[in-house]
Each structure stands twice: as C-alpha cells, then as structure tokens.
Structure 1
Amino acid sequence: MSIVNVMWAGGLPFASVHKVHCQIISQIDSALPVKTWLLQGSASACQENMGAAREWNLASARLKGRHFWRLLKPWMHSRFRRALLDDEARVVLLDGIGVVRTLLPVLKSLPHVRVVVVFHGATRFNAKSKQLLRDFPSSRLVLAAVSETLAASLQDELGVQVTALRSAFDPVAFQSRLVTREEARARLGLPQAGVRIFGAIGRLVEKKGFSSLLEAFAIAALDQPDWRLVIVGEGPARRALEARVAQPDLAGKVMLAGHQEDVVKLYKAFDWVMIPSFEEGLGLILQEAVLSGIPVLASDLAVFREQLADVGWYVPAGETIAWSEAIIRASLAQTDAVSAAQYQALAPDEAWVSFCRTAQGLISGGK
C-alpha cells in the first residue's frame, strides 16, 4: 500500500508546487511509502527534495493526446494503470487540472484508490474537464485548493465542494534556516550599510508584475541614490527587464539576481519585500517574508487580504503611481512595527497546525 504523488514536471516554473506537495507529504505516516511520479522533466530539476521519483519523460503532445497521439491514449492509459497497480497505490495525489486530465480516466477504473487533487492557482476548465471531475465517484475524490480564496472560486465554478488547504510552513523549521542580515547581503553581493534595499522574488513572467514594479521604483527612487531594488528569480521576461534596468533612471539601482538556490534563507537581506503580482493562488513569498520578520508591500489581491487582513500594505496591481507612492510611504515606516503586526495577522503557528490537520484528513479520508 502506498501513496502516489503525481506531478506535471520538475524545474523552476513548478517550484511552488513542489514546495506545497512536500508540505503535504510531510504529514503522511512515515511508515507509508510515498512514490512520486513526474510526467515530464527530471527530479534533479525540482527545487525541493521529492525523494525517489519515477520520470516518465512524456512529451506534452502525448500527454494531451494531440495529433496522432490521440490514437495511443488507450495504450498510455494501460501503462499508467499497470504502474499504479505495481506501486500498490491506495491514495493518489494529483497536481492540478493538467494531471487530472491525464490520470483521472485511469483512476476511475481502480475502485480501491482514493484521489486528492490540489489546485495551486487560477485554472481554466473546459466543459470536458468539468464533466470529468463531476463524473468521478465523489466518495473517492477530494478537491483542495491552497487558499480559501481559490477554494471558493473553484467551488463556484465547478459546483462541487473544494476544501481550503491553505499552505503554511512550520515556523520553527523555517526560521532555523534563516541567515543573518549581514550574511544574506554578503551572499547577494549587496552593501552592508548605507542603503535601503527593497526585494522582490518570483518567476520573471508577466503575471508577477515586475515590469510595472520597475516603473514605480524608477519614480519613487528618482532622488534616492541609496535605494536599491533586488529581483530574485529567472524566467522568459529577463531580457525585457534587463533592457529597462539599463536605462538611465534605473542604472545602478536595480539588481536582477537570477535564481538563488537558497533564497528562503536570504530574506533578511531586505528592508521590505514587494509582491506586485496580478494573480496568485496563495503567494508563498508573502508567508516566507513575514516569517522572516520582513514587512510586505503587495498587490491588492483577495488572497493576500485573506492572510494579512487589515494590517497588510496593499496597492492596486499594475498602478504605477500608486505603487511609487506606496514605496515612498514604506521607506518612512517603522518596519519593526509593520512586520510584527503582519506576523500576528498571519498567525504562523496556528496556520501550521491547521494545515497539518487538514492535510492529514485529506490523505486519510477523514477530511
């Protein structure tokens, strides 16, 4: 008997998904084996230790049944079915709708298997996907989302129950990994004193809002030679961001630090963390910053208000002037007081206990 954890792929685009699944798996009885499948990519590309993983190395066209691969769907389903039986799967954890479309038709024919689907962000459901979920025996299927905001949205769209499994961290374990402000700045190649450093972390993609953040920072820091903005992450938008950073009004004020393997240790390098996203399923960066004792300035998204309530510092996503004004206000604020209030609102200890209880219930069937 085992739990099979099925994920789409390894690599940076899936880093937050890997993190959440590791959190869930940490709540499973250690005597119960967990077997991870990656439909694409390698386990070595995962940012978290997923343990031993079966790498299927399947092309997207094959997984999605495009072109002539549609004819081979029965053969692929047979392979998956055989592998699930060989792994003695009793609970299967699925990563979002893409994996659902691939595996749920197979799992329907295995009545002894329970299925838990975890949604990590905004999801596009076509009619076929909705029907696939609705037709699966409800006694064997649990849908979960990584925030209450996302769970409510999905539940309205699908017309079926979606459990809120708000991701959280063990505060003691997380904080034990943090390095000092001095060490964090040294690792990032930043000055130790005499500068105010704003940080932003995430994939360099349009929905993360880094382009608009640069415009706002350019205005806010116009007469502030000692301000710096550090953006940690990689992605397809890097070239465009590099071009903007090279312009005179930002030259020397912005660092694109690239991917950092140990970024979760380095939050204390920053005076503020800014999250200018246009959409988020949860936003683990917010939690990590608050747990690190660093105040957060974030887009005015329901999922952020869910976590920080009235003590969050919110700015309409993409509004350059509003963001520039908020950055200036943040520079004048008592950061210790702001971070303490945000920590209290997030309530990490209670959030971790709630996450553990919910995750255990989903896996055990107790809900």
Structure 2
Amino acid sequence: MSIINVMWAGGSPFASVHKVHRQILSQIDPAMPVRTWLLQGSESACLEGVGPAREWNLTSAKLKGRHFWRLFRPWMHSRFRQALLDSAAQVVLLDGLGVARTLLPVLKDMPHIHVVVIFHGATRLNAVGRDLLRGFAPSRLALAAVSQTLAASLQEALGLPVTALRSAFDPAGFQTCLLPREEARARMHLPLAGPRIFGAVGRLVDKKGFASLLDAFALAAVAQPDWRLVIVGEGPAREALQARIDQPDLVDKVLLAGHLEDVAKLYRAFDWVLVPSFEEGLGLILQEAILAGVPVLASDLAVFREQLADAGWYAPAGDETAWGEAITRASEASAEAVAAAQYQALAPDEAWAGFCRTARELISGRQ
C-alpha cells in the first residue's frame, strides 16, 4: 500500500505548495511509501524535495480538456486508473481544485482509496467543481484548507465541511537552519553593519503587491538615504519592477535579489520583513520571518490577523501612503519587542502540534 501525492507542477511558482505537502507527508508512518506525481514539469525543477516522482508531462490544455483535447480525457483517465492500481494506493493527496478536477472522476469508481484535497488559496468554484466534490461520500473525501479564513470561505461556497489545516513549521527544525545576521547579510552581499534593511520575499507577480510596496518605500525613504529594500524572488513582473527601481527616488535603494534557494535561512539579514500581498491563502513568509525573530509588517488581510491578532502590524493592501507611514513607524519601534510579541501571538510550538495532529487525522480518514 502507498500514498500518492499529486501536484499540478514543480518549479519556483509552486514551491510553497510543495512545502505544505511535504509537511503533511512528514506525519505519516515512515514505513508507508510515498510517491509524488507531477502532472506538469519535472522533478529537477522542484525546489522542495519530493522524493520519487513520476512526471506525466501533460499540458494545461490536455488536463483541462480544452477544445479537441476533450477527446483525449478517457485515455488520460485510463492511464491514471492503471497507475493507481499498479501503485496499490491507499491514500491520494491532491493539490487543489485543478488537480481534483483531473483525478476525482477516476477516483470516484475506486472506493478503496481515501482522498484528501488541500486548498492553498482562493479558488473559483463553478457548478461542475461543486458537483464533483459533492459526489463523494464524506467518509471517502476530506477537504482541507491552509488557514481558518480560507476554510470558512470554501465551506460557505461548497456547503461541505472543510477542515482548517493551518500550515506551520517545526520551530526547532526551522530555527536550527537559520544563519546569523552577519552570515545572512554576507550571503546576500549586503553591508554587514550600518543601513537599515527591509526585506520582502515572494513570487514577482501582481497579487504579491511589490509594485505598490516600491511606491510606499519611496515615500518612507525619501529622507533616509541609508535605508535599503531587498526583494527576494523571481517572476513575470521583474522587468516592470526593475523599471520602477531605476527611477531617481529609488535608485540604489532597492535590490531585486532574484530567486535564492536558501532564502529560508536568510531572514535574519533583515530588520523588518514586509508582506504587501493583496491576497494570501496563508502566507508562509510571515511565519518564517517570525520564527527567525524578525518583525513583520503585513497587509491588513483576515488571514494575517488570524495568525497574529493584535500583535500584528498592518497597513491596507495597495495604499502606498498608509504603507509608507507604517514603514516609518516600524523604523522607530523596537524590532526586538515587536518580534517577541508576534512570536508569542503566533505560538509556533502549539501551532505545529495542532498541524501535526490534524494532518494525521486527514490522512487516516479520522477527521
């Protein structure tokens, strides 16, 4: 018997999703084999270790049955079914609604397999998707979301129970890997002392709010020539962001550091971490920064308030003036005191224990 972990794709855009699935799978019996399926992309592109992987090399058009590819779906389903039988799969873990739409029609007629669908962010649910999920007996299908905020939203939209599996990190394991401040700054080629350095981490896409953050930082740093902003990540918005950085009010103040595989070790290079997202399913960056002892200023989103409550420092998403003022206030506050309060609010040890317990219940079907 085995567990099949089905992911839409590998690569940096999906790194956080793979990280969450790896955390879930860390809670199963080590004697039970786990095999990952990548519907698109290659194992070598995965930034998180996925173990033995099968690469299906399917295009989005094939997976979604667009146009004449609809005729391809019965053959594709037949291949999936045979692969599931060959693997003696007992549990199948599915990455979100897109993967669920692809695999659930096959799994519906395989009653010996327990199915878990993990939702990582806001999802567009149409009638077909709702009916597909509602077509399974609750004893066979478990739905989970990576935050209470997301779980509540999905439960209302689906009319089905959705378990809140607020993703978390093993605090001791995460903190063991952190580099000291000086080493982290050296790794990023930053000054070891002197300038105040704000950090931001994430995929360079519009919903992460980095364009708005640049305008806000320009306002806050107008009289602070020694302030620096470092944005770690890669993505399609890079060219537009770099064009803004090259403007006179930001030149020499902002660094696009690109993708860094070991970014989780480097948070202590920053005085504050800024999370200007317009939307998040959870926001692992917030958790990682706080575990590193670095205070966070984040968009005023329900999912962040869920984790930090009154200990959080918030600014309205997309409001450059409010963000600029908040960055200035942050620079004047005691970073150590804010970080300590946020760590206490996040309660990492308790959160990790709860995550482990819920993950085991989901996989076993006892939720």
State the TM-score, normalizing by the size of structure 1.
Answer: 1.00
| One-letter identity of the residue aligned with 1:250 | L
Q: Which residue in 2 is equivalent to 1:87?
A: 87
Output one character per residue of 1:149-183: Cα deviation in whole Å (capped at 9) or x when no partner.
00000000000000000000000000000001001
Output one character per residue of 1:277-324: Cα deviation in whole Å (capped at 9) or x when no partner.
000000000000000000000000000000001010000000010000
Q: Which residue in 2 is equivalent to 1:241?
A: 241
| One-letter identity of the residue aligned with 1:190 | L
- % identical equivalent positions: 75
Q: Which residue in 2 is equivalent to 1:24?
A: 24
C-alpha separation in 2, matches of 1:357 and 1:136: 24
Q: Which residue in 1 is equivalent to 2:105?
A: 105
SS of the equivalent of 2:280 reads: coil
Contact 2:178-2:266 at 8 Å conserved across structures: yes
SS of the equivalent of 1:366 reads: coil
State the TM-score, normalizing by the size of structure 2.
Answer: 1.00
| One-letter identity of the residue aligned with 2:293 | G
Q: Which residue in 2 is equivalent to 1:196?
A: 196
Deviation (angstroms), 1:67: 1.5
Q: Which residue in 2 is equivalent to 1:316?
A: 316
C-alpha separation in 2, matches of 1:126 and 1:188: 44
Contact 2:89-2:113 at 8 Å conserved across structures: yes
C-alpha separation in 2, matches of 1:324 and 1:196: 15
Q: Which residue in 2 is equivalent to 1:232?
A: 232
Q: Which residue in 1 is equivalent to 2:161?
A: 161
Give the superposed CA RMSD.
0.5
C-alpha separation in 1, matches of 2:230 and 2:117: 35
C-alpha separation in 2, matches of 1:49 and 1:350: 26
Residues paired across the two proteins, number:
367
SS of the equivalent of 1:230 reads: strand
Between 68-77 and 288-297, the greater mean CA deviation after superposition: 68-77
Deviation (angstroms), 1:226: 0.6
Q: Which residue in 1 is equivalent to 2:219?
A: 219
C-alpha separation in 1, matches of 2:106 and 2:94: 13
Deviation (angstroms), 1:58: 0.5
Matches within 5 A, 1:327-342: 327-342=327-342
Structure 2: unaligned runs, 5 residues or longer: none
Structure 1: unaligned runs, 5 residues or longer: none
Output one character per residue of 1:254-294: Cα deviation in whole Å (capped at 9) or x when no partner.
00000001000000000000000000000000000000000
Q: Which residue in 2 is equivalent to 1:128?
A: 128
Deviation (angstroms), 1:139: 1.4
| One-letter identity of the residue aligned with 2:267 | Y
Deviation (angstroms), 1:365: 1.1
C-alpha separation in 2, matches of 1:73 and 1:339: 51
Stretches of 4+ moved more than 4 A in 1? none
Deviation (angstroms), 1:98: 0.4
SS of the equivalent of 1:138 reads: coil
Contact 2:139-2:365 at 8 Å conserved across structures: no
Deviation (angstroms), 1:137: 2.0
Q: Which residue in 2 is equivalent to 1:175?
A: 175
SS of the equivalent of 2:207 reads: helix
SS of the equivalent of 2:8 reads: strand
SS of the equivalent of 1:40 reads: coil
Matches within 5 A, 1:344-359: 344-359=344-359
Deviation (angstroms), 1:44: 1.1
| One-letter identity of the residue aligned with 1:334 | S
Matches within 5 A, 1:356-367: 356-367=356-367
Q: Which residue in 2 is equivalent to 1:268?
A: 268
| One-letter identity of the residue aligned with 2:215 | E
